[in-house]
Structure formats: C-alpha cells, structure tokens
C-alpha cells in the first residue's frame, strides 16, 4: 500500500493511532535540531580548498543558528586518507569556526566510510573539543548505514581510551528499504540491541506523505524499545546525478510538503530531528541559503543550483514550534515561493544531457508554483506567472496555494484592503532549456511587523 497520496483524514487517523503510544510527559530528551552537513562540499570554497576560509564556515554556522538549528552532523566520507586529506582539513576548520564564534554550536560525526582505525582517530581527536556534542557526558556518534563495521569494537576501543560514545545510527534494514517502516525499525532495534543507544532515520527519496509515515513508524518502534529517536526531515528531492535511476524526481509540493512533515514531527514529538540535508547539492535536499553554490564549487556549476533559503526560512517557523511546544504567533505577513524553472516536458537542447529526469512516486510532477503565506489577517495572494494572473483570497494563518505556471517572469504579491503589504519577484521560468534542471528555486519576503497579540488572544485558525 502506498501512502504517497493518502487523503488528509486518513493521515490524521494514522497519526492519532501512533500518538496513542507517545512518550509520557517528562520522558523526552531536550529537543535538538541538527542538519546533515556534507563535508565533501566546501560551500564557500572549492575542491582544492584554495578559497576556503574559516569565515565561510562561520557564515554557514550563523545561518543555521539563525534558523534554530543546534548543530551539524558532519558526514565524513574519509579521514586520514592521504588521497582525501581535505576531510581532515575541513573538519579542523569547521571546529575552529564554531569555537571562534563561541555560540555553542554543536558538532558530531556521521560516519560514511569504512576504516576502523580512522574512525577511532577522528572521534578521539575531537572528543574533548568545546563544540563536540555530548549527551550525558558521552560523545554523540552517528553513521549513514555501514552496518558491516565492527561498531561494538570501535566503541569499546574508544571507551578503553577514555572516550565514551552515545551511538545513534541510521542502519539499513533487512531486507534493505530506502523508505523503511515500523517493522524495519523494530527489526534493527532487536538485532542490534544494546550495541546502539538510539536510532536515527534517514529518509529523503520519497513524497512527503511517505516520509511522514517512515518517521511515525520509527518513532513508535523506538518508544516501544525505550530508545531515543532522531527523526528526519527532507525538503525536496532530485537525484541529479543518478542516471541509472532515471535521475528520479519526487514532487514535494513546496512549503506544503515541508509543513506536512513538520506538523507530524510536532504532533509526535521525536526526541531529536536531523535535517537531511544542509548542503547535498547533488540530491537537491539542501536547505543551505547559499545563492548559486556553483560559483564557489565549479564542479556543480551546471545544472544551476538555486538558493533554498525559502525552505530554511519556512523551516525556522516549525523548528521554533517543535522546540517550544507552542505554535509561534504570526505577527508579520510572510510570502514564500517554490517551483521548478522549466516545464516537466521540456527537452534539453544540449545533446550531451541525454537523461531526462523522471518523476517517481504517486504525486505527479506538476508544472506548478507553490506559494506558502503566513498572514496576520485575511488578504489576497496575487500570482503573476508569465502572462497569466490569478488572485486568491486567503484567511489569517498559514495557507498553501498551487498555481499552474507559465514561462516568463514570476511575481507574487500580498494585498490587503487594496494595499500591497508584501511583494516578491521570483526566478524566471524558461520555455526552452539547454540542460535539465529540477533544482527547486525558492525565496521569501516579509511585510511590516505587527505589534504582538495580547496574551490569551489568537489570530487566525490553528494550523
């Protein structure tokens, strides 16, 4: 059975079933939100690290913290490897940047390579550093799969050397499912037992409805096992370089897909959340607000990677809600846009770009603009797409609007009582393309902040 297009009522009922086994009050860990950071990408540098600076990493940390992100899970594809020493160099610079900022930004390793001695060396080297994330005095350690590594031995050696670890991995299920379910979580927890302290779910390649179900299943399995759970959130997915998988694309429906995942997280209260990812510029899952990372990293200059600042800024609202336990008041009108910059059917003119992306899942890749608006009071959203104009009357609160797009300029306006309160121009949509580009363009703008609502009052419906 596929959950990719379940009606909202069914999703709510499934959510309620799993909420029934939610952790009792006081049993949860302090809520943290991390972002999976691909160390292989130096966002404001290059492959040779000739332009890489500590200031660039400080810029990333500050952007993450401004959104409510507590730290980076540093994905290590190698360490102490003489052919890939940039991993050692970049980790050192990330730590130095965090220490220089002095803002308490947390760092821990997500191991993504085979090499027992190298893993031990990496963890030992940074175990005592100020910004290393400790839980109950133990160094937090994670991994992306790598079920075959001798984790008990690795942890034992580290313990012998005076470094205790809190191991919260993502491990493949048996059989392996990219989007695992409750039974997969139960199987992993049963198989690994005390070899792990908690469980992390990595799930990105799928429609938002299905990602929600993965989180719900693993959350329930961890509750029953009495283990902490670190849930996943992924804003969008396109396997740009996955040519053997037809460069698969999943429709995430812009801010609506983001809200769907976070609303479930808020309802079901997993202990921690890891955003997958901060900066994976090949699978489109990034929330980094960098504008055109290809200008720093020539290897990803084409197709164009648009800024995902819109995803990060919208996620900020939900992170606040998840951590505080209270829906943040809307004291300022906000307008977000998300869309592909060419029709799904467009054919690339570059004869070297022969693999046309294909949509996967049960939600078709529609040629739509996806707007999310946060309104202090009822207003109109006006979408000018190419030569077409559409007007939407919206209530106070949070609304998601889908509008078929037309190639050309894209402009978005919020009007109230005949006055423009927010106006935003998006990226042009192209009718003809040189190469395929399914990286989503995103952006946002705010109106004038309104005075806070007095305690006890509420503007707009709960969302």
Is 50 exceeded by the pLDDT of residue 17? no
The pLDDT value recorded for residue 46 is 81
100 lies in a domain? yes
Domain boundary among 324, 354, 389: 324
Is 60 exceeded by the pLDDT of residue 222? yes
Domain boundary among 269, 293, 324: 324
Q: Summarize the confidence of residues 399-415 as an average pLDDT.
A: 98
Clarify whether residues 370 and 391 are in a common domain: yes
- What confidence tier does 303 reach under pLDDT thresholds 50, 70, 90? very high
Clarify whether residues 307 and 410 are in a common domain: no
Asked whether 94 and 107 are in contact (CB, 8 A), the reply is: yes
Clarify whether residues 152 and 255 are in a common domain: yes
Q: What is the distance of C-alpha 248 from the center of its chain?
A: 18
The pLDDT value recorded for residue 462 is 43
The pLDDT value recorded for residue 119 is 98
Q: Summarize the confidence of residues 285-298 as an average pLDDT.
A: 94
Between 10 and 230, the more confident residue is 230
132 lies in a domain? yes
Clarify whether residues 235 and 353 are in a common domain: no
The pLDDT value recorded for residue 452 is 64
Clarify whether residues 72 and 173 are in a common domain: yes
Cα(18)–Cα(177) distance, integer angstroms: 21
3 lies in a domain? no
Residue % of the chain over a pLDDT of 70:
91
- The DSSP secondary structure of 389-426, one letter per residue, reads EEEEEE-SEEEEEEEE--SEEEEEEEEETTEEEEEEEE
pLDDT in tens, 246-271: 999 999 999 999 999 999 999 999 99
Of 21-25, 43-47, 306-310, 386-390, least confident by mean pLDDT is: 21-25
Q: Summarize the confidence of residues 179-201 as an average pLDDT.
A: 96
pLDDT in tens, 108-126: 999 999 999 999 999 999 9
CATH number for the domain harbouring residue 375? 2.60.40.10
The pLDDT value recorded for residue 48 is 80
377-320-371-235 Cα dihedral, nearest 10 degrees: -170
Is 60 exceeded by the pLDDT of residue 245? yes
Is 50 exceeded by the pLDDT of residue 401? yes
pTM across the whole model:
0.92
- What confidence tier does 45 reach under pLDDT thresholds 50, 70, 90? confident
The pLDDT value recorded for residue 326 is 96
DSSP state letter for 295:
G
Clarify whether residues 351 and 249 are in a common domain: no
Is 70 exceeded by the pLDDT of residue 453? no
Q: Summarize the confidence of residues 305-322 as an average pLDDT.
A: 98
Cα(144)–Cα(121) distance, integer angstroms: 18
Clarify whether residues 144 and 259 are in a common domain: yes
Clarify whether residues 313 and 364 are in a common domain: no
pLDDT in tens, 157-168: 999 999 999 999
DSSP state letter for 60:
H
Tell me how many domains the chain contains.
2
Residue % of the chain over a pLDDT of 90:
86
The pLDDT value recorded for residue 28 is 60
191 lies in a domain? yes
Clarify whether residues 148 and 45 are in a common domain: yes
184-230-275-99 Cα dihedral, nearest 10 degrees: -140
361 lies in a domain? yes
The pLDDT value recorded for residue 454 is 55
Clarify whether residues 101 and 159 are in a common domain: yes
**Number of residues written out for the chain:** 463
Between 9 and 56, the more confident residue is 56
357 lies in a domain? yes
The pLDDT value recorded for residue 69 is 98
Give the end-to-end CA distance of the chain in Å, rounded to a whole number.
28
Clarify whether residues 295 and 341 are in a common domain: no
Domain span including residue 348:
334-446
Is 50 exceeded by the pLDDT of residue 8? no
Beta strands in 201-243 (DSSP E): 229-233, 237-238
The pLDDT value recorded for residue 49 is 85
151 lies in a domain? yes
Clarify whether residues 257 and 351 are in a common domain: no
Regarding beta strands 71-76 and 32-38, do their DSSP bridges make them parallel or antiparallel, or are they unpaired? parallel
Q: Summarize the confidence of residues 27-37 as an average pLDDT.
A: 87
- What confidence tier does 140 reach under pLDDT thresholds 50, 70, 90? very high
Is 90 exceeded by the pLDDT of residue 205? yes
Whole-number CA gyration radius for the chain: 22
Q: Summarize the confidence of residues 217-230 as an average pLDDT.
A: 98
Q: Summarize the confidence of residues 176-180 as an average pLDDT.
A: 95
Is 50 exceeded by the pLDDT of residue 238? yes
CATH number for the domain harbouring residue 225? 3.20.20.80
- What confidence tier does 29 reach under pLDDT thresholds 50, 70, 90? confident
Is 90 exceeded by the pLDDT of residue 75? yes
Q: Summarize the confidence of residues 214-238 as an average pLDDT.
A: 98
363 lies in a domain? yes
């Amino acid at each position: 059975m596929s959950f990719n297009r379940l009606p909202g009522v069914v999703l709510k009922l499934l959510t309620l079933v799993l909420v029934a086994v939610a952790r009792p009050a006081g049993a949860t860990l302090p809520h943290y939100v991390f972002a999976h950071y691909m160390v292989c990408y130096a966002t404001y540098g290059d492959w040779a690290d000739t332009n890489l600076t500590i200031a660039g990493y400080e810029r990333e940390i500050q952007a993450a913290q401004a959104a409510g992100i507590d730290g980076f899970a540093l994905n290590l594809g190698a360490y102490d490897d003489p052919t890939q020493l940039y991993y050692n160099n970049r980790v050192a610079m990330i730590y130095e940047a965090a220490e220089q900022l002095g803002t308490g930004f947390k760092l821990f390793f997500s191991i993504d390579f085979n090499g027992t001695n190298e893993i031990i060396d990496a963890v030992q080297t940074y175990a005592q550093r100020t910004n290393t994330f400790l839980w109950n005095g133990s160094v937090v350690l994670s991994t992306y799969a790598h079920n075959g590594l001798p984790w008990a031995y690795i942890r034992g050696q580290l313990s012998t050397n005076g470094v205790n670890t809190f191991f919260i991995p993502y491990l493949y299920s048996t059989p392996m499912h990219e989007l695992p379910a409750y039974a997969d979580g139960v199987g992993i927890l049963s198989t690994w037992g005390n070899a792990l302290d908690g469980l992390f779910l990595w799930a990105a390649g799928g429609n938002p409805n299905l990602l929600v179900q993965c989180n719900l299943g693993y959350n329930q399995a961890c509750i029953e096992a009495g283990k902490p759970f670190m849930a996943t959130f992924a804003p969008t997915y396109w396997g740009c370089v996955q040519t053997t998988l037809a460069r698969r694309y999943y429709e995430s429906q812009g801010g609506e897909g983001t809200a769907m995942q976070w609303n479930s997280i808020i309802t079901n209260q997993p202990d921690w959340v890891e955003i997958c990812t901060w900066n994976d510029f090949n699978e489109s899952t990034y929330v980094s607000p960098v504008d055109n990372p290809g200008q720093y990293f020539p290897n990803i200059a084409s197709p164009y990677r648009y800024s995902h600042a819109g995803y990060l800024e919208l996620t900020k609202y939900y992170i606040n809600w998840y951590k505080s336990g209270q829906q943040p008041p809307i004291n300022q009108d906000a307008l977000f846009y998300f869309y592909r910059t060419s029709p799904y059917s467009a054919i690339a003119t570059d004869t070297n770009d022969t693999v046309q992306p294909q949509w996967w899942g049960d939600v078709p890749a529609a040629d739509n603009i996806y707007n999310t608006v946060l309104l202090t009071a009822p207003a109109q959203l006006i979408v000018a797409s190419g030569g077409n104009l559409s007007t939407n009357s919206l209530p106070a609160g949070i609304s998601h609007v889908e509008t078929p797009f037309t190639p050309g300029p894209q402009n978005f306006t919020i009007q109230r009582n005949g006055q423009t309160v927010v106006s935003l121009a998006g990226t042009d949509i192209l009718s003809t393309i040189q190469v395929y580009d399914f990286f989503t363009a995103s952006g946002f703008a705010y109106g004038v902040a309104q005075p806070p609502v007095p305690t006890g009052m509420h503007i707009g419906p709960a969302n």
